[in-house]
Chain A
Amino acid sequence: MRKTSSFLMAGLIMFGVLSVNSAVAQEKYPKDPISIVVPYAAGGSHDLVARALQPQLEKALGVSVLVENKPGGGSTIACNLVKAAPPNGYMLVTVSPTLSIIKYTLPESNVTFDQFEPVAYVGYTPQGVFTRMDAPWNNLKELLDYARANPGKVKCGNAGHGGNFHMGAVGIEQATGVKFTHIPFKGAAPAVPAVMGGHVDIIVSTIADTLHMVKGGSLKVLGLAAPERNKFAPDVQTFKELGYDIEFSTYWSYLGPKGMPKDRVKILYDAFRKSTETKEVKEFFDMQGVTPSLKSPEELGEYYKKEDVKWGRLIKEGGLMP
């Protein structure tokens, strides 16, 4: 008798807890602070974009939004952290194409895009080919003609073997049939003086990373790996114009752990959409060279599937598997 009643009690309590829980889930979201985990050190472009969005997101969501830096491990540390977080919409991660690349280059890190719930994509910056001011080439065609006539002669600096920019350079080789000599540097910063000093002939980087140097007159940009011209460098050719349909970019997308409730994803996406429409964020994007471009959670999910196919093929064909 006693036992049954205590069982009943336990059952009742369980039920009560569960129903309260589900009531909360449906009732109000968000009510606690939301954190955005940045896989890079403070000051990088993903950090700055997140911090520019932060006050606008707070306005739209009505709760505080925290930007947390979890650098290291080639962004696997932040991704693993968010992947394992409860899928309640209170923790997001901002990622670049690295998420699609490390699936193939660092398989033991156990990070793949399908462990995440897409939330929003707010903008991108196209990758391009940059060279020193007095280099003999003035546009993409001249460079490609030279590189085709002299295989392996063009030295191409990148920001580390297997990184985003190295992959972009390999992608250019695969599409155009030219052959570069790849020279990796530790991060994007040391590759820039190397191309200015003529130690390497070209570097692959992005408009956002190098716009200030192009504007400042210390680098010139030969061409962009984008489907259309970029508003920050409108007179620069794209590979597509020469008949090579390639697209490599760094982008700012936001993901949460897999299994987030659809309504919460929608609330978050709406907040991101509203934030990118504010004057403050628009001005910030202009200053940083970020091309605004919005993708809904569904579009972002599709995009990641395409990215996965693209990178998988590029990495396998390029012999870049570990």
Chain B
Amino acid sequence: MDTLQSLMLGFSVVTTPMNLFYCFIGVLTGTLVGVLPGIGTAGSVAVLLPFTFGLPPATAIILLAGIWYGAMYGGSTTSILVNIPGESSSVVTCLDGYQMARQGRAGRALGISAIGSFIAGTLSVCLLMLLAPVVARYAVKIGPPELFALILFGLTLSAYLSSGPVIKSFIMVALGMILGTQGIDTVSGVQRFTFSINEFYEGVGILPVIMGIYGVGEILINLEETIKRDVFKVSIKGLLPDWNDGKASFGPIMRGTFLGFFLGILPASGTLISTFVSYIVEKRLSKHPERFGKGAIEGVAGPEAANNAASSGTFVPLLTFGIPTTATMALILGALLIHGITPGPLLIRNHPDVFWGVIVSMYIGNSMLLVLNLPLIGIWVRLLKVPYSILFPLILVFCVIGVYSNQNSLLDITSMIFFGVIGYLARKTGFECAPLIFAYILSPILEEAFRQSLLMSQGDLTIFITRPFPAVFMFLTVLFVASSVIFSKKRSKLLDQIGSADS
């Protein structure tokens, strides 16, 4: 009853013309930011932040939040159409989304990602509303040992990210881990792989790596593949997902929603990890894992739901404790503070109009995004008819602007081109880059969590098995590795079958 009253209050806040207008501006900007590769939410929110100082607090947060979750919708578009992630959180969508587009199913891929995002966005806002205070209390119980066990488990699953040979994906995981160590070590202050270049003190950023490998790499490979473009000329009828697509995607969307929301809450997680985990889970659960990487709709629906749900999840630590877990959340925290609003357990009591207004604006914003995105699909798909000679230079320009504007650093552009060449070579030699990215994000967290745990326990390794949560995940990891070894023969036989079925 109380919730209902609060929701009514929220609705009364949002349904003023001004708040509806700013909500729309927010999600529209978010969609654009998402579609344009390299241009990230944090940068766009930072630009708009001073502008929001003059707005009422609820309106300001409604606008900024709109950019954040709106970008999760837009990001998939570029991934699906040109195999270049519009946001780093839509890297995984490239794997199957682009393959779907090549098979003439671009509209369906775009449709399912919009619908999946809508369902996940709406459900996760419900979760945020109902569970935020409870969940946040448990989320802080996840400390370094718990994080270590979780991530170790995650890394052992990374082989599933690739549809090629396991050995190649392990090599990419190793490369990603090495790359992840670059910079000044948080725990000891030692410089690693910085080559005496000041810009590398904090490591080469995630953006140059992703935009290089996926953006520049994709453009380079397309320079030689222009002839193959005929595949897109297959009819692009059936813009919207049909019944079968819907049936296949329902499970992944639901699982992606819950996974994404809970991973979004964890410190040091963010939206990107949730998409990888969702993809791995779907591939593991699928009866036909061999379809993944070749245009499986589950591989689009799950991760796209996950990143939207995670974007709601990141609001939990922010609103309940004032802890920002991503750069964009830090900016939204700044906006709250500037308006004299203190996030924390007392936020809901002290500023019900802001809390419930923002929650309700997220329902409405998600509906706006669906209405905005579904009719746009036709236009986006037609974008594929633009000749590559025009489209790709444009994309390259956006990649360069986006990467540069993130830190105003020329070295970031150089790094992006360097990783572009790496991405190109990897494609030519049959190495897949998703495991590299996954390891690059996870390994620094893994290493830090491991060393923090040992500092906590004064060097006692049993900290990982005496606490219940890490113990469960350590057990699962051992079980998983053991079962892989035992069943490896079976697996290679299966791979042979798949291989022969392919050819």
Contacts and interface: CB of A to CB of B under 8 A. Distances in A.
Q: Do A and B come from one complex?
A: yes
Interface of A: 41-44, 48, 51, 68-74, 76-77, 80, 105-106, 108-109, 152, 155, 160-162, 181-186, 189-190, 192-194, 196-200, 212-213, 215-218, 284, 287-288, 320, 322
A161 B185 contact: yes
B379 interface: no
A10 to B, nearest CB: 37
B345 interface: yes
Interface in B232-273: 267-268
Contacts of A43: 42, 45-46, 49, 327, 330-331, 334
A193 B345 contact: no
Given A73-B202, A212-B344, A287-B340, A155 B267 contact: no
B440 to A, nearest CB: 15
Closest 5 CB pairs of A and B: A216-B344, A42-B46, A199-B143, A197-B140, A73-B198
B323 A193 contact: yes
Contacts, number: 154
Interface string B41-55: 011011001100000
A155 B337 contact: no
Contacts of A184: 186-187, 452
Interface of B: 42-43, 45-46, 49-50, 139-144, 184-190, 196, 198-202, 267-268, 317, 320-325, 327, 330-331, 333-334, 337-338, 340, 342-347, 407-409, 444, 448, 452, 455-456, 458
B330 A199 contact: no
Given A161-B185, A186-B448, A72 B409 contact: yes
Contact of A70 (B50, B141, B408): B408
Contact of A216 (B141, B199, B321, B334): B321
Contact of A42 (B43, B143, B344, B455): B43
A306 to B, nearest CB: 24
B67 to A, nearest CB: 13
Nearest to A44: B330
A184 B324 CA distance: 18
A284 B338 CA distance: 7
Contacts of B331: 42-43
A216 B347 contact: yes
20 contacts: A42-B43, A42-B46, A42-B49, A70-B407, A70-B408, A73-B200, A73-B201, A162-B189, A186-B268, A189-B267, A193-B142, A193-B321, A196-B140, A196-B321, A212-B337, A212-B344, A216-B321, A216-B344, A218-B322, A320-B189
| Most chain B Cβ neighbours within 10 Å, of A42, A43, A109, A155 | A43
Contacts of B324: 189
B189 A212 contact: no
A68 B331 CA distance: 16
Contact of B143 (A74, A197, A212): A197
Given A192-B321, A212-B322, A287-B340, A77 B345 contact: no
A77 B199 contact: yes
A51 B254 CA distance: 43
A218 B49 contact: no
Nearest to B334: A43
Contacts of A71: 407
Contact of B199 (A72, A183, A186, A198): A72
Nearest to A183: B455
Given A76-B201, A161-B187, A284-B338, A189 B323 contact: yes
Given A43-B46, A73-B198, A322-B189, 4 more contacts: A152-B458, A185-B452, A196-B140, A217-B344
A217 B347 CA distance: 10
A186 B268 CA distance: 9
Contact of B444 (A162, A186, A198): A186
